[in-house]
Amino acid sequence: MLNPPDPAIVARIAEIMSRAKRLLFITGAGISADSGLPTYRGIGGLYNNQMTEENFPIETALSGAMLDENPAITWKYLYQIEEACRGAKFNDAHAIIAGWQETFEVCVLTQNIDGFHRDAGSRNLIEMHGDIHDLLCTCCDYQASVPNYDGLKMPPSCPRCQALVRPRVVLFGEALPSGAIQHLYRELDQGFDVVFSIGTTSVFPYIAGPVAQASQMGVPTVEINPADTNVTRFVDYKLASGAAASLWAIREALTNAA
């Protein structure tokens, strides 16, 4: 059972937000916990560091190299990940962040590949690791978006050229998408008034970096996570509670202060 958000900390965060214009929300798997998704670190943690049936580490099975060498293995585990998301929807945490676009300039940087921020209506969205529902051909310009992988032949092939199709996600060992990186740089160059880290262990430098940089520049920082993480030591305000409950409390405090 998660602790409820600390009212004093919530009130302080709401006070800071009441004077803010631009907000950055950095989110990880924890924000989707209230949607019923596992709070794994990256893709592989869904398997709790166990070896696959083929006796590979999951990071090997879900790597770009394996997709090239043996796409059936990679797609087997991509299917399992998508199946874990199937039927789930965005929750109040995603919706509240999207709703704040009417009051603030909001940017969302997410590691998640579930597409929930997009479904909730977030517009200025950086999906650093992609979206598992977006498919693209490895040879031609064919692209498609699917609600789930049911009915797909495994591994799927392009209906135009018959080449291998893959999801628009960053597999282990692959480079981050340059467009997403450039988008993040442009947003950081504009600056933010408050930076939130929600539901991520922040093991990647491009996820932890904006929080550490904001802290060094004196920009207020907030972490919402039941556990301590790689950025906990940097943040000004820590809510050791769930994402949806914390954001609900902050929104209520903002409304009452208005």
Whether the Cβ atoms of residue 220 and residue 193 lie closer than 8 Å to each other: yes
Q: Is 231 left (phi over 0), alpha (psi -120 to 50) or beta?
A: alpha
Catalytic site residue 133? no
State the pairing for strand pair 125-127/105-110. parallel
Helices (DSSP H) in 18-120: which residue ranges?
58-61, 64-69, 71-85, 92-99, 116-120
Phi, psi of 125 (to 5 degrees): -120, 130
Rg over alpha carbons for the chain, rounded to the nearest Å, is 19
> Which residues share a beta bridge with 127?
110
Selected catalytic residue, list 94, 117, 129, 183: 129
- Under DSSP, the state recorded for 248 is H
- What are the catalytic residues? 129
